[in-house]
Amino acid sequence: MHYYVDVIKRYADFSGRARRQEYWMFVLCSIPIMAVLIAVDFGLGSYPVVFYIYNLAVFLPTLGLSVRRLHDTGRSGWWYLVSLIPFVGWIAIIVLMAIEGDAGPNAYGASPKQLTA
């Protein structure tokens, strides 16, 4: 759960690097939250109001985390715009988020894996 909270605390931080574990744990925590919010929305008859409010609230933290994850692989945050390409873009982003980050320091800073080890 601390992965989720740490990302929210760094909500507008687009500098530095983020490990794969940090990214995927945030995604893993977000999915059940969204599922519960969808159920609440349907229960209240307000779908998708609460769900959209949550997505709006975590938009900047998610974008910042995604940019830091791309930095870990040695890519600019602008690569996230690839996700706007229909069908192929989301597959490309999933692959980029899943590959191993640079082992040592790169243009975006020291390896977060070495900092936590």
- Helices 59-72 and 88-98 meet at what angle, rounded to 10? 60
pLDDT in tens, 32-71: 999 999 999 999 999 999 999 999 999 999 999 999 999 9
Question: How far lies 53's CA from each of 12, 48, 87, in Å?
Answer: 18, 9, 25
pLDDT band of 81, cuts 50, 70, 90: very high
| Average pLDDT score over residue span 6-22 | 95
| Average pLDDT score over residue span 79-93 | 97
pLDDT at 98: 97
Query: Alpha-carbon distance 50 to 48, whole Å?
Result: 6
